[in-house]
Amino acid sequence: MKRMIIAPSILSADFARLGEEINLVQSLGAEYLHFDVMDGHFVPNISFGVPVLKSISHIHHMVNDVHIMISEPLKYIKKFADAGADIITFHYEACKDDDEIFEVIDAIHDEGIKAGMSIKPDTPVALIDQFLGDLDLVLVMSVEPGFGGQSFIPSALEKIAYLRQKIDDNSYNCLIEVDGGINEETGQLCKAVGVDILVAGSYLFGKDDIEERMEMLR
């Protein structure tokens, strides 16, 4: 059985103790560190950005998994890459057309890092078929992007199952990640339909039994 990759989202961490929180999830075996960038324009919330990533990207050995919920992603690829991103995942909906999507993917690859693309809950998954061969990761949003602590939207499961089949049928080298409302129950549902990476924020941070919770996700 394939091992599930866990990506704790530091959006739910205690920012006054960010370094400690990062050390904690690393010591519990997290493989990826999920970093949610929100610009107050593409999504109705503002989180953190390049300077914070720069400060934390080298204090750990996990994969810096940077999810940019921002308008005009192309403008910021180099900045996030220079700040230490290992994967940059931008939004399908933030691009004006297919050409721009290919441009963003190329810009990320030109930085020597991995390219991911995310779709919001209302975006039909078949729209991204043509990009799967070029992507290293697809991020299925299982909540409306913008806030931690929301409930899982079940239609994400069909999207994951669809992507699993497409990726396997075509032998694409593309991981499937799911983000939003992940806990021990929804995590298992996603695992059953073939997800590779679980992002979890409010389920993990600030919980006394975080170690057990990490195990439950696996």
Q: Reply yes or no on whether 208 is catalytic.
A: no
Residues 6+ apart with CB under 8 A from 33: 7, 8, 10, 22, 25, 26, 56, 60, 62, 63, 64, 65
Does 36 participate in binding Zn ion (rule CB under 5 A)? Answer: yes
CB of 117 to Zn ion, least distance (A): 13
Beta bridge partner(s), residue 66: 35, 88
Interaction between residue 159 and Zn ion (CB under 5 A): no
Which range in 24-32, 80-88, 162-170, 175-183 contacts Zn ion by CB under 5 A? 175-183
Q: Does 36 qualify as catalytic in the annotation? A: yes
Stretch that binds Zn ion, among 16-24, 64-72, 125-133, 209-217 (CB under 5 A): 64-72
Among candidate residues 202, 197, 152, 199, the one with its CA nearest the CA of residue 176 = 197
| 49 touches ligand DX5 by CB under 6 A | no
Task: Say which residues have a Cβ less than 8 Å from residue 1's Cβ, sequence separation at least 6.
Answer: none
Structure token digits, residue 65: 């998994």
- Residue from 145, 163, 174, 214 in contact with ligand DX5 (CB under 6 A): 145
Q: Estimate to the nearest angstrom the gap between the alpha carbon of 112 and the chain centroid.
A: 18
Q: Is 67 in the site for Zn ion (CB under 5 A)?
A: yes
The answer to whether the CB of 64 falls within 8 A of the CB of 87 is yes
Q: Name which of ligand DX5, Zn ion, none residue 201 binds, using a CB cut-off of 5 to 8 Å depending on partner kind.
A: ligand DX5
Set 36, 39, 136, 196: catalytic member: 36
- Asked if 175 contacts 185 with a C-beta cutoff of 8 angstroms, the reply is no
**Contact residues: Zn ion, CB under 5 A:** 36, 67, 179
**Contact residues: ligand DX5, CB under 6 A:** 9, 11-12, 34, 36, 67, 143, 145-146, 148-150, 179-182, 199-203
